[in-house]
Amino acid sequence: MNSRKLFNALLIAAMALASCKKDKKTDEPIPEPFVAENPATFKEIASIDLGGATAAEISAYDPSTKKLFVVSNDGGTKVEVVDLSAYPTVSKVKTLTFPNNAGINSVAVSNGLLAVALDGADKQGNGDVVIIKTSTLEEVKKITVGAMPDMVTFSPDGNYILTANEGEPNDTYTVDPVGSISIINVKDNYSVKTMDFSGFESQKATLVANGFRIYGLNASFAKDIEPEYITVAADSKKAYVTLQENNGVAEIDIVAGAITKIMPLGTRDISLAENPFDVSDKDGKKELKNWPIKAFYLPDAIAYFTANNTGYLALANEGDTRAYSAFNEEARVKDLTLDPTKFPTASLLKQDANLGRLTVSKFFGDTDGDGDYDELYATGGRSLSIINASTGQLVANIGKDLEQRVIDAGKYDDDRSDNKGVEVEGVTVAQVNGQTLAFIGMERVDQIAIYDIGNPAAPKFVQLFSTGDAPEGILFVKPKDSPNGRSLLIVSNEDDGTVKFFQPDKL
């Protein structure tokens, strides 16, 4: 055996041993299948078209039956069941319908159970989680949770199901339910506890001073909170929830059934060299530059991971606004009166080729209350942030490098420069070939970027590749669970209704 082959064999053996689980009786390692793969070579292996727009939003995979369950709001409230047993041939085998619910938002799988998150018959009313056996597709239980469960997930040990109940208002803002978190105890006959954020009312001033947003129309603190997405720590004890419109992350003690803290995210300073934006869709350029503005991060998806025995959170900073018929925070810079002292070149900045067309929030920035804007706040971080899970401290921000690579690849959509840029919406973190990788979904440019985040403070670019139209759900399947024993990335694309399957080359 030559030296290179020997090195590769030793590497594979070492990594396989490191990833071993232990037998509960003997405490001896149980080897898991390991395939040496090149994480920079993900490419499309298979695809399925499930319909039109909204036909493929979020997906969940069951390794025991090799079925994929895909959220669809195309022509009804449905879950499409896709068979992967003959992969790379994939085929739709059944449609599960939920006609008495106003919409479907999310799915998750664990230990042969499928959890489906549904809006109630009244969208602003309480929602439901339906539990279904993946083997027979029989309904096991239906559990009432808070209003508009936007995301559902299992804890890694399978003992709990959590939902982020967004509680959005109706378009006229006459009904605004509280945002909440529901914890369902699987082992206790699916008993449920739903918690809101009213207990944090006394912390409002401190939270707001650190970049948290409370601003809804006539809204109490609890009503203003809008939970979006959940990730759970590997030990199944804590969960972390993005509060997107509020610009924060909540920590949940799962076992105690309590919301323990809120971590405000602050702002990204676009005047700094490391934080440039392309702010105009009318300048004829795809160019990142610095501007005298700040940006609220406003994350959508979130993923927990560990490095060097420390927990971290990866945040997909999509940006989202409250834009209702009765209450709209969006404004273009050119339509605002800027403070002449803070913005001495206001007339130049307000030109369409500069900041004029940039979408900002009109509810923030008048710091002295005199009717003009002393600061400008864009809506969305246009980045993937990595923060310390315990402290909320920013560790790294993948923004400038990410957008520049999309521009260099000829994939940037300049029409969205005045709004969300590449629109970082999805993220999942997984191990491939011993590397800790962040898979970053960019909805507006139809791309997935991979970064090595094994050193969270110094992310390294790995790969950029195209998906379907508007990637919404990003799901990683480990080699031991995938239908062909290889790492598998499944991407659900909202605007064209496709699901695409990507895998890397072997080393």
CB-count exposure of residue 503 (10 Å: 0-12, 13-18, 19+):
buried
CB-count exposure of residue 362 (10 Å: 0-12, 13-18, 19+):
middle
Q: Determine contact, residues 216/205, Cβ cutoff 8 Å.
A: no
What value does the mean pLDDT take over residues 348-352? Answer: 98
DSSP-derived 3-state class of residue 181: strand
Range in 7-21, 204-218, 310-324, 400-414 with the lowest mean pLDDT: 7-21
| pTM reported for the whole predicted model | 0.94
What confidence tens digit (pLDDT) does each residue in 457-486 have? 999 999 999 999 999 999 999 999 999 999
Q: By C-alpha distance, which of 295, 281, 357, 360 is closest to 323?
A: 360
> Six-digit token pair at 202?
């006394």
Pairing, β 302-307 against β 310-317? antiparallel
What confidence tens digit (pLDDT) does each residue in 171-193 have? 999 999 999 999 999 999 999 99
CA 473/CA 66 separation, integer angstroms: 18
* pLDDT for 2 beyond 90: no
What value does the mean pLDDT take over residues 289-300? Answer: 98
What confidence tens digit (pLDDT) does each residue in 308-339 have? 999 999 999 999 999 999 999 999 999 999 99
Q: Determine contact, residues 133/112, Cβ cutoff 8 Å.
A: yes
Q: Determine contact, residues 423/469, Cβ cutoff 8 Å.
A: no
Q: Determine contact, residues 103/147, Cβ cutoff 8 Å.
A: no
A 10 A CB-CB count for 180 gives 25
What value does the mean pLDDT take over residues 230-247? Answer: 98
Q: By C-alpha distance, which of 190, 180, 168, 153 is closest to 102?
A: 168
CA 114/CA 126 separation, integer angstroms: 20
* pLDDT for 11 beyond 60: no
> Six-digit token pair at 414?
């300049």
Per-residue pLDDT band at 299 (split at 50, 70, 90): very high
Q: How far is residue 230 from each of residues 226, 250, 487, measured CA to CA in Å? A: 12, 9, 23
Q: What is the dihedral of CA 388, 198, 216, 232, to 10 degrees?
A: 30
Range in 24-33, 57-66, 435-444, 472-481 with the lowest mean pLDDT: 24-33
Strand partners, 193: 183
Per-residue pLDDT, 33: 56
What value does the mean pLDDT take over residues 349-360? Answer: 98
- What is the residue type of 487? S
